[in-house]
Amino acid sequence: QVQLAESGGGLVQAGGSLRLSCAASSHTFSTYAMGWFRRAPGREREFVAATNWNGGSSGYADSVKGRFTISKDNAKNMVFLQMNSLKPEDTAVYYCAARRSTISGWHQNSDDYPYWGQGTQVTVSS
């Protein structure tokens, strides 16, 4: 089992950047694939980005491709989401998620992730 804690959210102007962090409490973090999801007010939770167990493979939602970058540091039990060129429509609560997986690919479906953090609020003003 793994516990996840996000940080790094906040208020930023459109065009700005934020770096979200997710700390994991697990001695076997290197065997976990990780994902970032978000939920905007009045909308369902949606996929943002994901990476595989060693960070060697990653994928992104079309809406964030080219602006967001996911990275995983197994030595520090951390996963990050670098968000650049932020837009007001990026405003949401961002969640990191984890699942045990040592396949080469990443996971886009939220149902694939049994472990979730509490979320961190990101607000982008226009």
pLDDT in tens, 72-102: 999 999 999 999 999 999 999 999 999 998 8
User: According to the model, what pLDDT value does residue 104 have?
Assistant: 81
Q: Which residues contact 44 (CB under 8 A, 6 or more apart)?
A: none
- What is the amino acid identity at position 84? N
pLDDT at 121 over 90: yes
Kindly report the backbone phi and psi dihedral angles of residue 85, in degrees, each rounded to the nearest multiple of 5, phi listed first.
50, 50
User: According to the model, what pLDDT value does residue 83 have?
Assistant: 98
User: According to the model, what pLDDT value does residue 1 have?
Assistant: 86
Q: Report CA Rg, the chain.
A: 13
3, 34, 77, 92 from 113: Cα distances, Å: 12, 8, 17, 19
Q: What is the pLDDT of residues 16-65, one digit of tens each?
A: 999 999 999 988 999 999 999 999 999 999 999 999 999 999 999 999 99
User: According to the model, what pLDDT value does residue 58 have?
Assistant: 97
Q: How far apart are CA 4 and CA 32, in angstroms?
A: 12
Q: Which residues contact 25 (CB under 8 A, 6 or more apart)?
A: 2, 3, 4, 5, 77
Q: How far apart are CA 82 and CA 20, in angstroms?
A: 6
